Amino acid sequence: MRRLLDRRRVLKTRALAETPADRFVRVSGLVLVRQRPGTASGVIFMTLEDETGIANVIVWPRVFQRFRRIVFGARMVTVEGILQKESDVIHVVARRLIDTTPDLMAAMSDQGGETRDEKAATAQNLWRHPRDVRVLPKGRNFH
């Protein structure tokens, strides 16, 4: 999975600490938490985890409207946005979100020789049978 993300120029979350503020970045990870506090004026906060750590993501209402399905439905997300740093707090302000769940599922199924579309179709079908084991835990979502 990491080789695919590296080809797409996706940073490891650990690298965000060394990346200068106000730079365009691309990070990817499993969605741990989605929060939509009532006091946040429609802002969504997401926490992503990759193999090196976590990334905090801010999704403004306008971006949320464009990527609503991905924000609420994706298990793994790639976020493109601007890196912001305030004291010790690091977060990515999302401009674009990409559902990378099919890539994750294809990597987990370890089926070689298939095209990306075939892998995505296989990944979508993995969850349809009741006997399938749920490998990924459900995210902790608070609304």
Domain residue extents for the chain: 2-99, 101-130
Pick the CATH number of 2-99 from 2.40.10.10, 2.40.50.140, 3.30.70.20, 3.40.50.2000: 2.40.50.140
d(CA 115, CA 133) in angstroms, rounded, equals: 24
Query: Which residue(s) pair with 26 in the sheet?
Result: 80
Q: Mind listing the pLDDT tens digit of every residue in the chain (143 residues)?
A: 888 888 899 989 999 999 999 999 999 999 999 998 777 788 999 999 999 999 999 999 999 999 999 999 999 999 999 999 988 889 999 999 999 998 888 887 765 555 566 556 655 555 555 455 455 555 666 55
d(CA 82, CA 140) in angstroms, rounded, equals: 25
Could you give phi then psi for residue 15, rounded to 5 degrees?
A: -75, -15
* Threshold 0.95, pTM exceeds: no
pLDDT at position 39: 72
pLDDT at position 133: 46
